[in-house]
Structure 1
Amino acid sequence: MNDVRFPEPVTLEFPTASRNVASSFEALECLDQQWPEWARGRSWRAAARACRDALDGWRSARDARKAFLKAAKRAGLVSSEVRPPRKSRPLRVINGLRPEMSLSGWQ
């Protein structure tokens, strides 16, 4: 059983400190030792299962990271401000004109 590195580390914000989790083994250790008791529900079990499966070669590191990140968000351990950059899409052009945007959508 070899450790499986995540494609990108997950940064968790605990009340006392922050922690970067970069692999399935680290994620399992964090889920077991540092996770709040009140947040050990369905997403916590799914994350633990996904990380164990990744270590056993049944799932990818990407799947394990995704499950771990979902559990961390549910537990409130990931800042909502930290998001991966979105790919920008070109604006839709109609008859050579760009439509104006408002808060409610297209005008």
Structure 2
Amino acid sequence: MAYDQELADRLRAALSTEPGVTEKAMFGGLAFLVGGSMAVAVSGKGGLMVRCDRGATEELVAADGVERMVMRGREMDGWLRVSADVVDDEDALRRWVAIGRDVARSLPAR
């Protein structure tokens, strides 16, 4: 499945004032990197992949439509799948973008 171009455009707009943002095709989707670290991506499976603080994972997955990323059969703290319907409105999208951006921004530049 190809990633959602409209959602990618919305992410691009949400990150338009953020310095050091680059885009890269990854994981069958389109990732947005801040300072060289992935912050958020439009998933080829629908919705978003969002980087988060590992310690906040449990709290964040308590929300409807949010779950831990599963890679190679293993749940990953610090990475979330957020369904498309959760980010239907711009305020919700910006909230999830900010979560990923802030974590990526806190990492050493690559």
Q: TM-score when scaled to structure 1?
A: 0.30
The normalised TM-score by structure 2 is: 0.30
Structure number with greater Rg is 1
| Higher strand proportion | 2
